[in-house]
Structure 1
Amino acid sequence: MRRAWTGPVMLLIAGAGAASGPFVQGRPGTGAALSLLFVLLAWLVSPLVFPRSVGAPEALRAGAADGRPVVFWRPGCVYCLRLRIRLGRKARRLHWVDIWRDEAGAEVVRGANDGNETVPTLLVAGRTYTNPDPAWVREQVSSSR
């Protein structure tokens, strides 16, 4: 859990340092803009931007029952963020598994990627796909039950 928040916390610390200079120099507008930028970046790489993660066994069971894809992801992954943003509201229809919180999910990803924890890895109809095109994933979400 701790490493999921390391990136966002480091961005907040860096943002505070970067914004302090303009504030001290009497440029509060620039300092506020830098602060806002770093807060936004920290939010984007945090687990908060993703739908609630579930455990791998629960996601695999639910995916088999309803036909929706299972997404294995981790916080701070820019490819996972790209997928999440491009899916928009449809992202809530997928089952998300944070591999840093769920060892069983990490094992599924390592098994599908020659021992590497390459994410996002999707499980669709029993087949795994590593870092698929977001447009293709949208089609899979639309075609699922």
Structure 2
Amino acid sequence: MVRSWSLAGLMLTCGVIVAVAQELPWIGVIEFVVFVALAGLLSPLVFPRSLTAAEAQQRSSGDGHPIVYWRPGCRYCLRLRLRLGRSARQAHWVNIWRDPSGAATVRAATGGDETVPTVVVDGEPYVNPEPAWVRQRLAQ
């Protein structure tokens, strides 16, 4: 859990340091707001509630929606999440930093690496797919 929030905490810490170091207070406030926004984007808050890999597989077999394996701080995961928009909530999201079996699933699909986002559709893994392709799968 701590690892999931470490990048967000680092951004907030940097924001405080940069803001305090500024000679002009209003510039410090603007920089702090930028760092807070970055912290929010790098935190788990942007993503739908994570499930365990077993839960996601069970739900996916019932409704046919894709499973997205992700981790906080991954810019490709963030890109996928933002481009999916509201339809992202239809997918089943698994945070591989919280779920060891999810990480093992990703390693098995990618040949030993934890490359994310890895999207599983009908039991077939796809590493870093295009957001439009995933959106299309969610619409089916």
Q: TM-score, normalised by structure 2?
A: 0.98
> Residue by residue, what CA displacement relative to the aligned partner does 1:114-133 show, whole Å, maximum 9, x if unpaired?
01000000000110000000
Distance 1:57 1:41 in 2: 31
Distance 2:109 2:134 in 1: 18
Is 1:21–2:43 an aligned residue pair? Answer: no
Q: Which one of the candidate residues 114, 118, 121 is aligned to 2:115? A: 118
**Cα RMSD for the two superposed structures:** 0.6
Distance 2:123 2:9 in 1: 37
SS in structure 2 at match of 1:5: helix
The aligned amino acid for 2:90 is R
Residue 48 of structure 2: aligned partner: 51
Shift of 1:97: 0.3
Percent identity reads 52
After the TM superposition, which parts of structure 1 deviate over 3 Å for at least 4 consecutive aligned residues? none
Is 1:68–2:61 an aligned residue pair? Answer: no
SS in structure 1 at match of 2:97: coil
Q: How many residues end up aligned between the 2 structures?
A: 140
Shift of 1:2: 1.1
Structure 1: which 5+ residue stretches go unaligned? none
Distance 1:75 1:95 in 2: 15
Structure 2: which 5+ residue stretches go unaligned? none
After the TM superposition, which residues 1-145 of structure 1 pair with which residues of structure 2 at under 5 Å, given as runs?
A: 1-22=1-22, 25=23, 27-143=24-140
Q: TM-score, normalised by structure 1?
A: 0.95
